[in-house]
Structure 1
Amino acid sequence: MKIAYRHFLLCILLLSGCLSTAFAKDHVVWRLGEKDGFCREFALHDVAYSDFSKRYTCVTTICQIGTDDSRKIPCAFPGPKDVWAGKQSGELLVRFGVGRIAPQTRARLVLDFVEVHPYSPPVLEITVNGFRTKVQTPAGKNSSYFQNRTTDSHDLAVSVALPEGTLQVGENRVSVRNDSGSWVVWDALTLTADAPVTASKLRDKVELLGAKSSPALMYGEGQELLQPVRMQIANWGAAREAEWGYDGRKGGKIRLERGLNQIEAGIPESFSGREVTVAVQAGNKPAGSVSVRLDTVDKWTIYLVQHTHTDIGYTKPQTEILTEHLRYIDYAVEYCEMTERYPDDSKFRWTCETAWAVKEWLRIRPEEQVRKFMKYVRNGQIEVTAMFFNMSELSGENAYKAFLAPVGMFKRYGLPVSTAMQNDVNGVAWCLADYLPDLGVRYLTMGSNNHRALIPFEGPTVYKWESPSGKSLISYRSDHYNTGNHWGIERGDMGVFSEGVFAYIDKLKRQQYPFDVVSVQYSGYFTDNSPPFRQGVRTDSRLE
């Protein structure tokens, strides 16, 4: 009995020790959001994810514990594969203060998700003070979460154990960066410790988080040429004035609101090709400095081609979609009329991607409207193309022959047709190398789609397509038919748009694209069967 009693006491002691250890690990240092399977405690939880770039000037968010809460953090945390966020890596920086902490304290950061992209779950880079690691997120189930806000996923989380001594007295930081992959949706972010940790209030301060130059030129107030530099500045206090400079020279005064500030400034063109030190000062106190390489500026010409992208039955039934496309041509004529006195590069332009809608429009619209349409075709604001639809070669050569008949009708109207356009359906039938030249069509342009399809070229390709009979077309295989939308052209956010343009040019250079001219397609809205939109006109005018 004594032996059993001792064993019983030992078991109680061991169990007590286990329980005390378990409870000791449950000291919450801070928590953002609630682990409840919903993202309603976060920003943008009730709006379309396409509004992300409109509400936040960049995909970086900063949060200070004790001052801010989860309502400042967007529920969507994008990755470099997310077109809607400009293919940028989301970053979250959390700042918090610690007053007292035991030297051997260990902590744990737990990130809970409502949903994670099922096909491209991201790798997150997590940095806590001097400790850094990468973790793979688990795959979710609903890739359309932002459309329907439903999920069957459960227990989506990553947990990172922090070594002893990672947390420290004074200022601490947790940084989460979406290193690769697509999005996650936040449920909660929780930092716990195995011993009590007391919080402390942090002092307000300004700090330069980073700076990046763009390989472009802009005009200054005195019409001098400047190379733009975008600074990312955190202001952890009330709105205030600050100053910036480069290589010891004064740059100027800037106004900083509370939170994260994106400040664009200009450095004289003469510094192009050099590395400069950009610095910020607030209240006579240095707020940080970083080295920035000002890349040499090259001259590029980008032709922006707007079209609807005809895809019958994809967005609406066949019985409804023709009416939509007829109305789009009406809009295009109206926008041409509204902008015909603009500078030439800023006029509205529209490409009729398929002959189908044009054929029906010419048949039923009044003569006065048709005359306007022909006027804008002649002055280069509207172009009519040869293909009846975006067609697969499975339809057969005879179907192609019949579908090209409207080209003859257009010529009787006096409408020139020199180009055929094929989008979304990758590749084109061999017979067209014979049929199109016979109709006076000299050019073929194609926009590819790599979703569930193979793309035979890495980048845009120009070539002469010659048939066995010797007839030929000058052919241009561009990238995706919505490449401009991948840059965010329809949103009107010049910051996001310019980043997309520069990243694209950089990609072309790496691919050794041999020209300094490129054609890029886009639609007025980021969808198939899109109406025209004048946002691109306003973007063009600001790019001049």
Structure 2
Amino acid sequence: MPKPPLTRPSWWDSDLARDILRDRVVTSTVGVGDLEVRLSGEPLLRHDGSGGLLQSIRVGLHRGGAAAGTRAPRVTRVRVTTAGGTPVRSEILSGPGTDLRVLVPEVDAPTALRIELPDLAENTWLDFEARPQRHWTLHLVQHSHLDIGYTDPQGRVMAESRAYLDSLLELCRDTDDWPEPARFRWAVEGFHSFQDWSANRPARQVEHFLDRVREGRVELTAMPFNLHTETCSTDELHELLRPVTELRDRHGIDITTAMQTDVPGQVVGLPDVLADNGIRYLSVAHNWAGRAVPHLVGGEHLPRLFRWQAPSGNSVLVWRTDTPHGLAYMEGSILGFDESYASVDDLLPAYLSALARFPYPHEGRGIPGFPILDGTSAATAGVEPYPWDVLHLRVLGKFADNGPPRRIIADTVRRWNEQWAYPQLRASRNEDFFADAEQRVGDRLETYRGDWSDWWVDGVGAGAVPLAATRRGQAALAEAQTVAGYAHLMGVPGSTAVTAKAPAVYRAASLFNEHTWGAGDPWTHGDHGHGSGERQWHWKYAQAMRAHDDAETLLDAASALLGEAFAAPADALASFHVVNTCSWPRSETARLFLPESTVALRDAVQVLDARTGAPLPFVEEAQSNDRHRAAGRFLHVPVADVPACGSLRLDIVPDVGGDRADASWTETSTDPVVLENDHLRVTVDLREACIGSVVDKHTGRELVRQDAVTGFNAYLYDEYATAGAFNHQSSKTVADDSMHLLASRSTAPPAALVDRITDATGQTLVYECAPAGTRRLRVRVHLPHDAARIDVENRVDKTATLTKESAFFAFPFALDDPTVRTEATGGILGTDRETVPGSATHMRAIRRWISLSDAGHHAALATADAPLVQLGGIAIPYAPYPQSLPQEEPGTVFSWVHNNIWDTNFPSQQAFHHTFRYSVAFTGADQNAPDGVAEQLAVRTAAVTGHPLVPVRARAVARAGAEAQPPAQTRLLTLDDARVRLVGLTVPGEGRLMIRLQSLADTPVTCRVGTPLAVGQAFRTNYLGLDPHAIDVEPEGGIPVTVPALGTVAVVLHLRPSPDK
């Protein structure tokens, strides 16, 4: 006798979902003898042979009690009448399974019928109301969900992907003579797959593939892969589409659609980027995975088909599927499309009926990752069902990620359309669906605006160090191209090479930002499959280091190029140009490396400001790891008013008198834990291991909330009462107000004062402690001499653990009900700005800064390394994310520096010894000041660590007859509106310079761009140089360019050759 299974089915068993789906569309249940007869109307319509249609009533027969499981009698006869007894034409069909279908003439209004099944019981009539059924058109879009990793090591995934593209060409050929709707079609979910395939196939095969694209049998989509778009830089987000635009230029293939799969949320700048590059449509499949609950925060009201508009006015038409509609991109597999025609025949009618009747077709159980089951009905009360009769349905070759293409979908479509008039099934591309839907209902669609924040982005905190490396790589890449652009403006050849190498670095950063951050079981160390966690993480980590290292290499190369434009004075030991890659003047500290080969370490030097000849104070820093690095020393030199988009020359000369400019500094305060300048008084609380007070000396206002749960830059460490190394456990765990999942919360113990320094750069205090979750925490608090800014370095040394953990640094600002704005990729978000309904509210990833404003002050917090933040509180990191603090603090920012919450896809543990850098700045709020003061403060604060001043060694040989002294400063570009920032420069070709701009303003801005060089022509374009429009250069050389609200634009200058060339 067979034994029963060890357990009953889990709520994650998709067979449960199928059973529930069938049951919830049953409209009447009647007992006939020992049989239970279930009746349900189906949206199945068949031609009746005389120009009309017949619609289906499904009849299910089930025995109960002791006879349960035994076969029901065979039914071959049926009689149907109206409620008044008038006979109604009827037919009987067997199936699905042991059920049967009764076909009756199509009704156009609810119609009462009576049904008799004589084989069960003579003269026993079953009452049933036949209702009108939609004439559905279903666009079945077959694709493979691309996880670069997860199911196998990344190299194997890409190898299989190449094999898939080989196979789909055969499947196209095999169905060429089939009815047009049934012909095999395929959507390539990520353009990177095609790039990889085409780079490894003969030209003839590639051209054949492109012929299938032109034919409409294969669809190439615009995005390279699925990403956490919030982790991209703004220029990187645009660069994602460069390969698509290059294909369009080379082969004339117009790609109109983008896909994003799995990740439940996309960043605010995405519709701008897509629309700017000719992408009209976006198909998303949001996999909640038990980590997203958009239906509890307004997402239940978001239509599946809508227009998503950026602040600039650009928009895309969006189709959305998600977990409760059928496990997101696996919605077709839940219905059996990868199994058999019989499965589809069984489940598809019930799905369509449920879709037309309920807010979500599935109830919850059996759909992995659909959490908060008991709250679903309440959360969706009053939500209307799907209104249209045209539907997009994703189908897979296998019920799995990274699955292969198969002909089974085409077989099903062909057979289905031979049987039924409606629903009409089509093997389609995304573009086919969008064109059909736009034609049918385009004028009735709603428009939504703002960010569509990512519920999964908390997972990136599981790779804190490589994430920080990628962020530095993104910044260095922009700096490298900008410095190379300056070199180009200065007439130095070779700058185009830096721009030409940039796409490979962008791609490395994007591959790190791609959504697969680990294996299905990331704690494992096997060599294949879901259990290859360690191997997959090595590959992923390598992308971050490649982005970081190659960007720094390009910056080094660009700096060397620009150095060829500058000569050193004859009387200098060396000259450096401190280069400002930002569009405003800066007064900050430059860090120069002075090699021992230039000046012996024993020799004292002075640093002269070339503008005045005056010596500047500086601080020397010894080389670290000096046996293995270049011999020399670093000079930290505070410099004032470095020109915007320009440079300042510093000359290194012998200090013959030994009279350094920074020989002594007067302490403002005698208290060892107080740092003070003319702007701020900063008090460190060693007992609480935090900054206890920041006072604005101009107004006397305390800027740190004194009744906050924690102090300023205080460390918090949480542990959670769930087990690690169990697949998807965090996706199955539900939190509530009981707080039972928060196992512990700790703050730092009292700290020891390690150092107190006053030098040329400012005042510095260093303290150290050993909080929970670390081996050591060392904090460096620095107050520059003449800035209302505090720079903080938190160096954390932690070991790895599978214990579920999070760490935060808290920043409680004492601002009254502040307006909070955050920088996002391609835009700016705010507590006063729209978001797409259903966006995550408890946390988000930012680019570089947050601004907070009330009637009296603006404050800015910049984070160089850690993008995750929570505002006003700390959520328990399990759905539905209840708050854990005893009070709401609207002005408190919690920087979420690391976690290991996820039990799939993201690393399960991490160890590091790493510095997390922050800058905090303040200014008074002037009611008469122009808009954008807070954003400008934040952008400038973020540049201190995000885009530091770049030292360039002057290497040019002075030309005969040249002026005696090289220029003391240069200014190469001007922007006349502070609400527009320079994102970066590129050099797309000899004699051309691209200027990438981004607006911080809520309304369109006309900004004049200028350069001292002669400009022949100027063109307004996008970041990839598409669709250029000529701009008239004004007589004085200004180039007016209109930048859309919170949007991006580029200007390409065609430079006239300089007279000496």
Q: TM-score band, normalised by the shorter chain? A: 0.5 to 0.7
Is 1:454 the counterpart of 2:296 in the alignment?
no
Could you say if the C-alpha distance between residues 271 and 301 of structure 1 is closer, same or farther in structure 2, counting changes exceeding 3 Å? closer
CA distance in 2, matches of 1:215, 1:347: 24
Contact 1:209–1:234 (Cα < 8 Å) also in 2: yes
Report the counterpart of residue 472 of structure 1 in structure 2.
315
Q: Give the deviation of 1:250 after TM superposition.
A: 8.3
Report the counterpart of residue 332 of structure 2 in structure 1.
484
Name which of 463, 471, 477 aligns with 2:306. Answer: 463
Q: Give the deviation of 1:347 after TM superposition.
A: 1.6
CA distance in 2, matches of 1:408, 1:277: 61
CA distance in 2, matches of 1:250, 1:445: 44
Q: Give the deviation of 1:518 after TM superposition.
A: 2.8
CA distance in 2, matches of 1:368, 1:91: 49
Is 1:279 the counterpart of 2:116 in the alignment?
yes
User: Could you say what secondary structure the match of 1:320 adopts?
Assistant: helix
Identity score, percent: 28
Alignment size in residue pairs: 362
Task: Tell me the amino acid that sits aligned with residue 277 of structure 2.
Answer: L
Could you say if the C-alpha distance between residues 366 and 76 of structure 1 is closer, same or farther in structure 2, counting changes exceeding 3 Å? farther
* Greater shift in the superposed pair: 348-357 or 452-461: 452-461
- Larger radius of gyration between Structure 1 and Structure 2: 2
Contact 1:349–1:382 (Cα < 8 Å) also in 2: yes
User: Could you say what secondary structure the match of 1:333 adopts?
Assistant: helix
Name which of 391, 394, 397 aligns with 1:521. Answer: 394
Task: Tell me the amino acid that sits aligned with residue 263 of structure 1.
Answer: L
* Greater shift in the superposed pair: 207-216 or 248-257: 248-257
Q: Give the deviation of 1:390 after TM superposition.
A: 0.5
Superposition pairs for residues 51-62 of structure 1, below 5 Å?
none
Q: Give the deviation of 1:341 after TM superposition.
A: 2.2
Q: Give the deviation of 1:255 after TM superposition.
A: 10
Could you say if the C-alpha distance between residues 234 and 506 of structure 1 is closer, same or farther in structure 2, counting changes exceeding 3 Å? closer
Name which of 235, 241, 245 aligns with 1:404. Answer: 241
Name which of 352, 376, 384 aligns with 1:501. Answer: 352
Task: Tell me the amino acid that sits aligned with residue 170 of structure 2.
Answer: E
User: Could you say what secondary structure the match of 1:473 adopts?
Assistant: strand
Could you say if the C-alpha distance between residues 531 and 76 of structure 1 is closer, same or farther in structure 2, counting changes exceeding 3 Å? farther
Is 1:84 the counterpart of 2:31 in the alignment?
no
Per-residue Cα deviation, 1:450-491 (whole angstroms, up to 9, x for no partner) = 221132522543333333444332333333222222322222
Q: Give the deviation of 1:271 after TM superposition.
A: 8.2
CA distance in 1, matches of 2:20, 2:253: 47
Could you say if the C-alpha distance between residues 347 and 237 of structure 1 is closer, same or farther in structure 2, counting changes exceeding 3 Å? closer
Name which of 204, 219, 222 aligns with 1:368. Answer: 204
Task: Tell me the amino acid that sits aligned with residue 391 of structure 2.
Answer: V
Report the counterpart of residue 283 of structure 2 in structure 1.
445
Q: Give the deviation of 1:306 after TM superposition.
A: 1.5
Contact 1:303–1:520 (Cα < 8 Å) also in 2: yes
Report the counterpart of residue 194 of structure 2 in structure 1.
358
Structure 1 length-normalised TM: 0.58
Could you say if the C-alpha distance between residues 244 and 390 of structure 1 is closer, same or farther in structure 2, counting changes exceeding 3 Å? same
CA distance in 2, matches of 1:398, 1:363: 25
User: Could you say what secondary structure the match of 1:216 adopts?
Assistant: strand
Name which of 378, 382, 386 aligns with 2:214. Answer: 378
Per-residue Cα deviation, 1:381-407 (whole angstroms, up to 9, x for no partner) = 111111111111213334334432211
Report the counterpart of residue 268 of structure 1 in structure 2.
105
Contact 1:86–1:488 (Cα < 8 Å) also in 2: no
CA distance in 1, matches of 2:313, 2:49: 57
User: Could you say what secondary structure the match of 1:322 adopts?
Assistant: helix
Superposition pairs for residues 19-30 of structure 1, below 5 Å?
none
Report the counterpart of residue 522 of structure 2 in structure 1.
none
Contact 2:107–2:131 (Cα < 8 Å) also in 1: no
Contact 2:93–2:102 (Cα < 8 Å) also in 1: no
CA distance in 2, matches of 1:252, 1:83: 35
Report the counterpart of residue 337 of structure 1 in structure 2.
173
Q: Give the deviation of 1:215 after TM superposition.
A: 3.0
Report the counterpart of residue 245 of structure 1 in structure 2.
79
Report the counterpart of residue 217 of structure 1 in structure 2.
45
User: Could you say what secondary structure the match of 1:420 adopts?
Assistant: strand
Q: Give the deviation of 1:497 after TM superposition.
A: 2.4
Superposition pairs for residues 101-180 of structure 1, below 5 Å?
none
Q: Give the deviation of 1:351 after TM superposition.
A: 0.8
Per-residue Cα deviation, 1:43-64 (whole angstroms, up to 9, x for no partner) = xx69xxxxxxxxxxxxxxxxxx
Superposition pairs for residues 292-331 of structure 1, below 5 Å?
292-331=128-167
Q: Give the deviation of 1:378 after TM superposition.
A: 1.2
| Structure 1: runs of 5+ lacking an equivalent | 1-32, 34-39, 47-74, 93-172, 174-204
Contact 2:116–2:123 (Cα < 8 Å) also in 1: yes
Report the counterpart of residue 125 of structure 1 in structure 2.
none
- CA RMSD of the aligned region, Å? 3.6
CA distance in 2, matches of 1:241, 1:336: 42
Per-residue Cα deviation, 1:252-296 (whole angstroms, up to 9, x for no partner) = 897999xx931122112258621212221239x528542222111
* Greater shift in the superposed pair: 328-337 or 500-509: 500-509
Could you say if the C-alpha distance between residues 470 and 281 of structure 1 is closer, same or farther in structure 2, counting changes exceeding 3 Å? closer
Report the counterpart of residue 427 of structure 1 in structure 2.
265
Q: Give the deviation of 1:322 after TM superposition.
A: 0.1
Task: Tell me the amino acid that sits aligned with residue 218 of structure 1.
Answer: R
Task: Tell me the amino acid that sits aligned with residue 406 of structure 2.
Answer: F
User: Could you say what secondary structure the match of 1:302 adopts?
Assistant: strand
CA distance in 1, matches of 2:22, 2:258: 43
Contact 1:215–1:227 (Cα < 8 Å) also in 2: yes
Is 1:230 the counterpart of 2:103 in the alignment?
no
Superposition pairs for residues 188-227 of structure 1, below 5 Å?
207=35, 209-220=37-48, 225-227=53-55
CA distance in 1, matches of 2:385, 2:36: 35
Q: Give the deviation of 1:78 after TM superposition.
A: 8.5
Structure 2 length-normalised TM: 0.31
Could you say if the C-alpha distance between residues 518 and 253 of structure 1 is closer, same or farther in structure 2, counting changes exceeding 3 Å? closer
Per-residue Cα deviation, 1:151-189 (whole angstroms, up to 9, x for no partner) = xxxxxxxxxxxxxxxxxxxxxx9xxxxxxxxxxxxxxxx
Contact 2:94–2:101 (Cα < 8 Å) also in 1: no
Contact 1:82–1:88 (Cα < 8 Å) also in 2: no
Contact 1:208–1:280 (Cα < 8 Å) also in 2: no
User: Could you say what secondary structure the match of 1:421 adopts?
Assistant: strand
CA distance in 2, matches of 1:462, 1:256: 36
Could you say if the C-alpha distance between residues 254 and 397 of structure 1 is closer, same or farther in structure 2, counting changes exceeding 3 Å? closer
Task: Tell me the amino acid that sits aligned with residue 318 of structure 2.
Answer: S
Contact 2:44–2:55 (Cα < 8 Å) also in 1: yes
CA distance in 2, matches of 1:438, 1:234: 58
| Structure 2: runs of 5+ lacking an equivalent | 24-30, 64-69, 323-327, 361-382, 418-423, 425-1061
Q: Give the deviation of 1:308 after TM superposition.
A: 0.5
Task: Tell me the amino acid that sits aligned with residue 229 of structure 1.
Answer: I
CA distance in 1, matches of 2:198, 2:386: 40
CA distance in 2, matches of 1:41, 1:416: 59
Could you say if the C-alpha distance between residues 241 and 521 of structure 1 is closer, same or farther in structure 2, counting changes exceeding 3 Å? closer
Task: Tell me the amino acid that sits aligned with residue 332 of structure 1.
Answer: L
Q: Give the deviation of 1:307 after TM superposition.
A: 1.2
User: Could you say what secondary structure the match of 2:216 adopts?
Assistant: coil
CA distance in 2, matches of 1:255, 1:482: 30
CA distance in 1, matches of 2:71, 2:353: 33
